[in-house]
Amino acid sequence: MPSQTKRTTLYLDTNLHTALRLKSIAVSRSLSEIVNEAIRQSLAEDAQDIEAFESRAREPLLSYDEMVKKLKKDGRI
């Protein structure tokens, strides 16, 4: 575990805690390691989503009707 950590209290659903504890045993890793990894992955996905959104922010907006017409024209619907 990294040397800089912060202790916190989490309240988990009982079933999630049981599953997490069993996974911890199966993969020989601590609950903290598994939770930290999951949070890192979630935040990385959020960062990717924000980046994708920002890269498309300047694209022209299409109305619903325009989008349906484009999909029909392209043979998608």
Q: Return the amino acid letter for 39.
A: I
pLDDT of residue 10: 93
pLDDT of residue 2: 57
pLDDT of residue 40: 97
Domain boundaries, the chain: 14-73
pLDDT of residue 1: 52
Q: Which two tokens stand for residue 74?
A: 């392209």
Q: pLDDT digit of tens for each residue in the chain (77 aa)?
A: 557 999 999 999 999 999 999 999 999 999 999 999 999 999 999 999 999 999 998 888 989 999 999 999 999 99
Residue 10 · residue 35 · CB < 8 Å: yes
